[in-house]
Structure 1
């Protein structure tokens, strides 16, 4: 198995489709994970401990929702396909039970609700591109968690967002109406 550094040195530059990228991944086992966007292979950094605490808070809260009781999942680092040239891996992604079952047949799924946690290595342009990709894939809601600011930006379209912080109550409605909490609790 290639280390992440070795894999980065051997990344092909001629891949054009997600299928080509996934074939390359199967032929070249490596550590780490990647996104594929229009011929670019983008390394996903490992989650830091502080980010893991956010993930833990959100997944445990999700377990109390009707969606979870119905078999839906809020899954870390799961592939979310945009089209044949883009595949993203959100930090957390919501998938319905029907979508999960469809993967058994090899059907590629797109999350309706991705959650991203801003890392130190991301640039504003990267964030905007990801948000656009998620909405291009049919997302109805995108959350971008900014730990350093203790804020969550809620996007209802690529061009419409609202920042939540402190005592603001954030909700995943209309996707998961009973998935809500006070922002300060996430960062406590």
Structure 2
């Protein structure tokens, strides 16, 4: 099997009941997603709120069948009991409080906006979109209430993750990415 075939194997989402192959995350996006999941899980476990996962397909309760694979999710213990086994299915039937999309060079804006809308229609409370190359976080509190953060800001978990704070200067080390700051 070619390396390219291996990279694309089993990386898909379900949209309108059909399997849609997805390109793999870039190495940069994987690193950012893993790092963010670490911070979220550490906070969630210490505060007994929940845990984060990377690249887990979730079932979205929408009229048309949707199984999406956010780059990071935060599952509160109120929706999945602490230390409960994760099902051995392709998609997890649990609604996260937070979905994170880490933008890779191949991602399309229309697809990203579709996902954001779907997450909120399914009941997700908060969506973060991360642009690693530009060291930007966009925080969506709803599909229309959004604000941007740069590496000089502190990411706040809001009502979905009360008490979570992450200085983005620590998250995006100086000299990385193509920062839009002057």
- Structure 1 gap ranges (5+): 7-29
CA contact (8 A) 1:94 1:113 kept: yes
Select 1:79's aligned residue among 48, 52, 57: 57
What's the CA shift for 1:81? Answer: 1.5
CA contact (8 A) 1:54 1:187 kept: no
CA contact (8 A) 1:32 1:45 kept: no
CA contact (8 A) 2:38 2:52 kept: no
Match of 1:52 in 2: 30
Match of 1:90 in 2: 70
Q: How does 1:91-130 map to 2 (within 5 A)?
A: 91-97=71-77, 98-99=79-80, 101=84, 104=87, 108-130=93-115
Select 1:68's aligned residue among 45, 65, 87: 45
CA contact (8 A) 1:110 1:138 kept: yes
Q: How does 1:157-176 map to 2 (within 5 A)?
A: 157-176=142-161
- Structure 2 gap ranges (5+): 174-182
Q: How does 1:141-180 map to 2 (within 5 A)?
A: 141-180=126-165
CA contact (8 A) 2:40 2:74 kept: no
What's the CA shift for 1:177? Answer: 1.8
CA contact (8 A) 2:152 2:167 kept: yes
What's the CA shift for 1:172? Answer: 1.3
CA contact (8 A) 2:14 2:68 kept: yes
Q: Deviations over 1:133-180 (max 9, x none)?
A: 100110110000011221000001111110100211111121112222
* CA pair 33-82 structure 1, distance change in 2 beyond 3 A: same
What is the CA–CA distance in structure 2 between the aligned matches of 1:166 and 1:4, rounded to whole Å?
34
Q: Deviations over 1:40-64 (max 9, x none)?
A: 4322332322223312321332243
What's the CA shift for 1:74? Answer: 0.4
Q: TM-score, normalised by structure 2?
A: 0.77
CA contact (8 A) 1:32 1:46 kept: no
CA contact (8 A) 1:116 1:143 kept: yes
Select 1:183's aligned residue among 168, 172, 177: 168
CA contact (8 A) 1:79 1:89 kept: yes
What's the CA shift for 1:5? Answer: 4.9
SS of the counterpart of 1:134? Answer: helix
Aligned residues: 164
Q: Deviations over 1:4-34 (max 9, x none)?
A: 759xxxxxxxxxxxxxxxxxxxxxxx82321
